[in-house]
Amino acid sequence: MKAAFRLLFAVGIACGLAGTTSAQDYPSRDITVMAPYPPGALTDGVARLLQPKIAEYLGGATILIDNKAGAGGAVGVGQVARSKPDGYTLLMVVNAPIVMAPSLQASLPYDPRKNLRGVGVIAETYLTLAVHADSPIKSLDDVIRMAKEQPGKLTFGSAGIGSAHHIAGEVLNRKAGIKITHVPFQGGGPAIQNLVGKQLDMSYGTLPTVHAFVESGDLRIIAMAEPKRVESHPDVPLITETIPGVETTTWLGFFAPANTPDDVVAKLNEALNYALAQSDVQEAMTRLGLVVRPSTPAELDALVAKDLDFWAEAVSTAGIEKQ
Amino acid sequence: MLINKKDGAAGLFFVAVGLLYGGIAWSTLPFGSALRMGPGYFPIVLSGILVVLGAVIFGRSFFSGPGMPFGIVPWRGLLMILLATVIFAAFIDDLGMIPGLFVTTLVATLARPQTTIGRALGASIGITAFCTLVFSFAVRLPIPVVGPVFDGLR
Amino acid sequence: MDLLTNLALGFGVAFHPMNLVYCFVGVLLGTVVGVLPGLGPLATIAMLLPLTFGLEPTESLIMLAGIYYGSQYGGSTTAILVNLPGESASAVTTIDGYQMARKGRAGPALAAAAIGSFFAGTVATVLVAVTAKPLTAIALTFGPAEYFSLMVVGLISSIALASGSLVKALAMICLGLLVGLTGTDIYTGAPRFTYGQFELLDGIDFVAVAVGIYGVGEIVRNLESRSGAQALIAKITSLWPSRDDLRRMIGPSVRGTAIGSMLGVLPGGGALLSSFVAYNVEKKTSRNAAEFGHGAIEGVTAPEAANNAGAQTSFVPMLALGIPSNVVMALMIGAMIMQGIVPGPNVVVNNPELFWGLIASMWIGNAMLVVLNLPLIGLWVSLLRIPYWIMFPAIIAFCCIGVYSVSNSAFAVYTVTISGAIGYFLIKLDCEPAPFVLGFVLGPMLEEHLRRAMLISGGDPGIFVTRPISGGLLLVAAVLLVIVSRPTVARRREEVFVEDD
C-alpha cells in the first residue's frame, strides 16, 4: 500500500498542474472550453494551444478542455448551446457542425443562429485537390477530359460523407457534367494515405495534410477548392477559375451560448485576439497549416450567417440527402 | 427428455437478436446488390447467419445432454452493481466527484449482502477520497469536485 | 554502416540524462495509468500535452511514447489480476492470464508478460531501426482489398479463441460484428441501429463494452459464491516462473514478436489483430494445447509479446509517414506539430536526432519497465489480498470514472450497465466474450474495406484475388479454415473445473 501511495505521489508531481487563483468579477471560477472532438483532433490541438494564453489574459483563470466527441461534433456543440450563458461554458470548433451540419443532418440538437453567438474567428485553412506525383493528371483540365472519356472510372477520396471534400467533389461533378466516383474515408488522413499508396486517382485534402507529401515528392497539388488564391501558394490555380462555384471555406471559431452578456463576450474576444497575437501561437498555427484570422464577435456572427446560406446551396447542388 | 437448458436459451437468444437486427435492417436500410452494397447488405447477411447459428445451437440442446447447471444468479448483487453505474451516469455532472462517487460506491458495496454498514461506509469514504485525489487533483478530469447542485450552499 | 551510425546517434541522444529522466517519468506514469482500470494512455497523454510545450521536442516525445508503451504494460497487469482488459489487445491476455491468477500463479503470469514484452520490445526496436523505410513501403501497398483479406484471416483465426463450443463462438463473432456496425454508415451517412439515440451515431465505445462484459460480469460472478468473496484464488505458490515455465516461454515470445512486428505497422487494427493471431498460433502449434483457456503460460506470453512488438512498430507509419495507426499516435502527431516538427516523410531527414533518439529510447524504456515491474510483481500480487468488499466497489468506481472520461459522456456509462447485464447472462450460458470482442472491433473495418474495395474496382470482385498480397492473404485464410475445421479442433468441450457452489 505504501508503495502504491508513493506511485500516486509521483503522479501528482509529474502532472504538476498549477492551482487555481481567480481575478476580479469575471472569471471567478473555472471555465470549461468544449472541443467536441477526441483528443488529438485539430480542434483539440488548437484549443490546447490557446488555453494557456487565454488563461493568462484572464488573470490566471483555470481553463479546462472538455472533449465531448460524438456525431461529428454535434453532441458537444449541443451541450454548449443548452448551457447557462454565463461565460463559463464556451466552445471552440471547426465550421462543419456550425454551418454545414444544419444542411446535412435532419435533427440537430441546436440551431446555430438561435443558440450560439460568436466570440471571434480563430483561424482558417485551405482545401486542395491533389494527385499522385506519378499520375498522368497534370491539371484540372486533365481531370475533366479523362472523366469524360471514362465516366465513373476515376475515383476521388474525401474525409467522409458530408465533409467539405465530399461536397466540393460532388459540386464539381454536377457543374462540369462529369462522373468521378466518390470514395469516403474516416477522416482526411486515411484518404491522403490511400492517395500516396496509389489506391485513388485523386483526393481532396486540407493543405497541412497534403503539404508534407508534396515536399517529399509523393503528391502534386493541381488546384485549390477556395474562393481566393492562397497567399502561400499563389501559383496553384483555383477550381472555381475553370468551373465557377466549386469552392469551400474551412475555419475555426470561438463561440459562447446565445445570451452570454456583451461585456463577457467582449472580454473573451480580447483574450482570444491577445492569444492569437503571440508569436509562438502564430508559429504553431502556421505549422498546423492554419492562418490566424483575428476578428470581432460581430464578424464571426456575419460569417456564420453567410456560410449557412452558402452550404445550404452547395449541399443541394451536390445532391446530398439530409440524414 | 434431457434438454441442455443453457444451449437452448443461448440458441433462442441468438435467434431473437438475429431476427431483431435483421428486421430493423430489412425495414429501414437499403440492401443494394453484391456489387453496389447498400448500408443494409452487411447487417442483413450477418443477421441471417446469426439466426442459422442460433437455430443450430437450439437444435443441439436436445442432444447435447444436460450439461452443467446454470447455477444461482445473485440478483441483489447484479441489481446493485448495475444501479451503481446508473447512478454515476445520471448524477455525476450535477453532484460532482465527491458526493457522486460516494453514493455510487456505497450502492456498489451493498451488492454483497455480508458487508456490514460500517464497512460499507468506510470503504465508500476511502475509495471516494482515493479517486478524488487521483482523478480530480492529479489527473484533473473535467468533473467538478463538488457539483453545481451544491452551489446554493456556498 | 549507416545503421550503426544512426543507432549510435540515437543512443547518444537517448542516454542524455534529461532524456533518461523523461523516459522514466513516462514509463512510470504509463504503468500507473495502465494499472488503474478504465484510465488509459489517451486521457493521460491529452492532459499532459500542454505541459510538454515547455520541453524540448525529443524530451516530450520520449516521455509521451513512454506513457504509451508503459500503459500497454500496466494494462496487462490489470487483465491478469482482475480480468479487466483496459483495451482491446489485452482482452486476449485475460483468457489465460486470469486463469493463472486464479490458480495462484499470478506471479509467473506477470513475469511472463514482462519478460515476453521486453523480448518483443528489444527485437522490435531493432526492427524499427533496420526496416522503418521498407516497412513503410509495404504498409502503403495495403489498399482496401488487402485490408479486407487481412481482416478475414483475423476472423477465421479468432474461431480458435474459443475453448468451448465452436458454434457458440461463431455466433458470438457474428453478434460482435452486428453490434459493431452500430452508428453512421460511412458510405451513405445512414444511421444504423441507433434507436434514435444521438450518442450512438458514432458507434458504441469499445472501452465501455469491455468494462461492462469483463468488469461488471466478473464482479457479479464472484458475488455468486455464498461468502461473496473473490472467486477461488488458490494459495499463491511462487512469484517467479519455474525453469519449465521459462522454457515454455521461449517459442511463444519469438513467434509473438514476429507476428506483432509485422501487423503493428499496418494502420488500423494491426496491433490489435496481432495479439489475437499470436494467441491462435500458439494454441494451434503448442504441445500443451489442451491447457489453453485454463491458464497456459504460452497464452499469456505470446499475445503480450505480440502486443508490445505491435506497439513499437506502430510508431513506424507515424514517424515515417505522419500517419497515425491509432488514436494515441494521432495525439503524438499533435504533440510533434506543437513542437514545430511537421510529421511526414521528412522527419528522418530533417530531425535525425529525434527519430533515432526516440527509437533508442524505446529500448531503454522497455528495459526500465522490466526493472520497474519485476520487483513490483510482489506488490501487484499482494493487491489480490485486498478484501473483496473493498476491491469490487473500487473497481466499479474506477471503471465508471474511466469510461466517463473517454468522451465525458454519461451515455458511455449506461453502455457499461447494459453490456454488463447482457454479458453476464451470456457468460452464464457458456458463451465466451473474446470472440465477441474481436467481431465487435473488426466488424466495421471488415465492411468498410470490403465496400471501399468494391467502389474503387468499379464493382469487380476480382480485385481480391488479382492483387497479389490480397490473394495471398485469402489463400492463408482458406488454409486456416481447413485447419480449424478439422475434427481435433471441434473436439468436445472438456469439463472446466467447477465453481464452488
Whether A193 sits inside 8 A of C323 (CB atoms) is yes
The residue type of B104 is T
Q: Which is it for strands A116-125 and A250-257: parallel, antiparallel or unpaired?
A: antiparallel
Whether B104 sits inside 8 A of C400 (CB atoms) is yes
C488-496 contacts, C-beta under 8 A, 24 or more apart? C489/C160, C489/C166, C490/C166, C493/C163, C493/C164, C493/C165, C494/C290, C495/B68, C496/C293, C496/C294
B55 interface with C at CB cutoff 8 Å: no
Q: How far is C325 from chain A (nearest CA, A)?
A: 10
Q: How far is C223 from chain B (nearest CA, A)?
A: 6
A32 interface with B at CB cutoff 8 Å: yes
Q: Which of C493, C295, C369, C455 lies closest to C119 in space, CA to CA?
A: C369
**In contact, A226 and A250? CB cutoff 8 Å:** no
Q: Which is it for strands A63-66 and A31-34: parallel, antiparallel or unpaired?
A: parallel
| Dist. CA A90–CA A31, nearest whole Å | 8
Count of Cβ atoms closer than 10 Å to residue B135 Cβ? 24
**In contact, C175 and C158? CB cutoff 8 Å:** no
Higher local confidence (pLDDT), C487 or C191: C191
A214 interface with C at CB cutoff 8 Å: no
Which segments of C215-324 does DSSP mark as H helices, in order? 217-222, 243-264, 270-285, 298-313, 315-321
A8 interface with B at CB cutoff 8 Å: yes
Touching subunits of B (3+ CB pairs, under 8 Å) are A, C
Residue C501 has pLDDT above 60, yes or no: no
Residue A208 has pLDDT above 80, yes or no: no
Residues 6+ apart with CB under 8 A from A24: A59
A:220-259 residues touching chain C, CB 8 A cutoff: none
A38, A45, A320 ranked by CB distance to C327: nearest: A38
Stated pTM of the model: 0.77
In Å, how far are A110, B145, C215, C416 from C191, measured between CA atoms? 19, 36, 29, 22
Whether C198 sits inside 8 A of A183 (CB atoms) is no
B32 interface with C at CB cutoff 8 Å: no
CB-count burial class (<10 Å; 0-12, 13-18, 19+) for B144: buried
Tell me, what's the pLDDT at C496?
A: 33
| Dist. CA C311–CA C328, nearest whole Å | 10
| Dist. CA A119–CA C411, nearest whole Å | 30
In chain A, which residues have their Cβ closer than 8 Å to the Cβ of C327?
Answer: 38-40
Q: Which of C453, C400, C480 lies closest to C38 in space, CA to CA?
A: C400
C-alpha cell read off for C126: 531493432
| Dist. CA C251–CA B84, nearest whole Å | 44
**In contact, C501 and C221? CB cutoff 8 Å:** no
B45 interface with C at CB cutoff 8 Å: no
* Model confidence band, residue C43 (pLDDT cutoffs 50, 70, 90): low
Whether A44 sits inside 8 A of C334 (CB atoms) is yes
3-class SS of residue A156: strand
C171, C228, C447 ranked by CB distance to B114: nearest: C228
Q: Which of C314, C251, C337 lies closest to C69 in space, CA to CA?
A: C314
C:407-446 residues touching chain A, CB 8 A cutoff: 407-409
Task: Examine residue C89 and state whether it is found in any structural domain, yes or no.
Answer: yes
In chain B, which residues have their Cβ closer than 8 Å to the Cβ of C178?
Answer: 17-18, 21, 43, 46-47, 50
Whether B81 sits inside 8 A of C216 (CB atoms) is yes
Residues 6+ apart with CB under 8 A from C19: C13, C58, C59, C62, C357, C361
Q: How far is B99 from chain A (nearest CA, A)?
A: 19
A:173-202 residues touching chain C, CB 8 A cutoff: 181, 183-186, 189-190, 193-194, 196-197, 199-200
**In contact, A246 and A239? CB cutoff 8 Å:** yes
DSSP A67-101: ----GGGHHHHHHHHHS-SSSSEEEEEESIIIIIH
Boundaries of domain holding C421: 2-484
Q: How far is C199 from chain A (nearest CA, A)?
A: 6
C42 interface with A at CB cutoff 8 Å: yes
DSSP state of C124: H
The residue type of A39 is P
C21 interface with B at CB cutoff 8 Å: no
Interface test with C, best of A1, A5, A7, A68 (most C CBs within 10 A): A7
Q: In what order do the strands lie in the sheet with A116-125?
A: A63-66, A31-34, A89-94, A250-257, A116-125, A291-292
In chain B, which residues have their Cβ closer than 8 Å to the Cβ of C447?
Answer: 42
pLDDT by residue (tens digit) across C181-215? 998 888 887 888 888 787 787 788 777 887 788 77
Residue C90 has pLDDT above 90, yes or no: no
* Model confidence band, residue A156 (pLDDT cutoffs 50, 70, 90): very high
Chain C CA closest to residue A215: C346
B12 interface with C at CB cutoff 8 Å: no
C-alpha cell read off for A46: 488548437
Q: Average pLDDT, whole number, for chain A? A: 84
The residue type of C78 is T
Q: How far is C224 from chain A (nearest CA, A)?
A: 28
3-class SS of residue A205: strand
| Dist. CA A104–CA A323, nearest whole Å | 6
User: Residue for cell digits 527485437?
Assistant: C123
Interface test with B, best of A1, A11, A33, A323 (most B CBs within 10 A): A11
Q: Which is it for strands A202-206 and A127-132: parallel, antiparallel or unpaired?
A: antiparallel
Residue C83 has pLDDT above 60, yes or no: yes
pLDDT by residue (tens digit) across A10-66? 444 343 333 333 334 778 778 889 988 766 667 887 888 898 889 889 888 888 888
Q: Which is it for strands A31-34 and A89-94: parallel, antiparallel or unpaired?
A: parallel
Which is it for the CA torsion A284, A289, A295, A297, positive or negative? negative
B:63-92 residues touching chain C, CB 8 A cutoff: 67-68, 70-74, 77-78, 81-82, 84-86, 88-90, 92
Q: Which of C249, C262, C276, C260 lies closest to C160 in space, CA to CA?
A: C276
Q: Average pLDDT, whole number, for chain C? A: 79
Task: Examine residue C496 and state whether it is found in any structural domain, yes or no.
Answer: no
Whether A189 sits inside 8 A of C323 (CB atoms) is yes
| Dist. CA A238–CA A223, nearest whole Å | 5
In chain C, which residues have their Cβ closer than 8 Å to the Cβ of B72?
Answer: 224, 501
Higher local confidence (pLDDT), C230 or C383: C383
| Dist. CA C107–CA C96, nearest whole Å | 13
* Model confidence band, residue A134 (pLDDT cutoffs 50, 70, 90): very high
Residues 6+ apart with CB under 8 A from B40: B25, B26, B28, B29, B30, B31, B32
Instruction: Please count the residue pairs, one from chain B and one from chain C, whose beta carbons lie less than 8 angstroms apart.
Output: 205
In chain A, which residues have their Cβ closer than 8 Å to the Cβ of C330?
Answer: 38, 40-41
**In contact, A49 and A281? CB cutoff 8 Å:** yes
Which residues make beta-bridge pairs with C61? none
The residue type of A220 is R
B118 interface with C at CB cutoff 8 Å: no
Whether A74 sits inside 8 A of C198 (CB atoms) is yes
Angle at A189 (CA atoms; ends A186, A190), nearest 5 degrees:
55
Whether B142 sits inside 8 A of A65 (CB atoms) is yes
In Å, how far are A85, A211, A249, B144 from A30, measured between CA atoms? 15, 38, 33, 9
Higher local confidence (pLDDT), C327 or C379: C379
Residues 6+ apart with CB under 8 A from C311: C68, C69, C72, C264, C271
Residue C155 has pLDDT above 80, yes or no: no
Higher local confidence (pLDDT), C119 or C329: C119
Tell me, what's the pLDDT at C491?
A: 45
A:21-80 residues touching chain C, CB 8 A cutoff: 38-41, 44-45, 48-49, 51-52, 66-72, 74-75, 78
Q: How far is B66 from chain A (nearest CA, A)?
A: 46
pLDDT by residue (tens digit) across C280-328? 888 877 777 778 888 888 888 998 898 888 888 878 777 776 666 666 7
Give counts: helices (H), strands (E), chain B. Answer: 5, 0
Which segments of chain A does DSSP mark as H helices, in order? 2-15, 42-57, 74-82, 101-104, 112-115, 140-149, 164-176, 188-196, 207-215, 239-242, 262-277, 279-287, 297-318
Residue C80 has pLDDT above 90, yes or no: no
Domain count, chain C: 1
| Dist. CA C34–CA C16, nearest whole Å | 27
Weakly modelled stretches of chain B, pLDDT under 70: 1-2, 64-68, 139-140, 152-154
Higher local confidence (pLDDT), C322 or C481: C481
Task: Please give the average per-residue pLDDT across C56-81, as a whole number.
Answer: 83
Residues 6+ apart with CB under 8 A from C486: none
Task: Please give the average per-residue pLDDT across C345-373, as a whole number.
Answer: 81
| Dist. CA B140–CA B121, nearest whole Å | 25
B142 interface with A at CB cutoff 8 Å: yes
Domains in chain A (CATH in brackets) are 24-124+249-318 (3.40.190.150), 127-225 (3.40.190.10)
C375 interface with A at CB cutoff 8 Å: no
Q: Which of A218-222, A271-275, C353-357 has the lowest mean pLDDT?
A: C353-357
Whether C411 sits inside 8 A of B89 (CB atoms) is yes
C47, C193, C426 ranked by CB distance to B139: nearest: C47
**In contact, C447 and B32? CB cutoff 8 Å:** no
Tell me, what's the pLDDT at A76?
A: 85
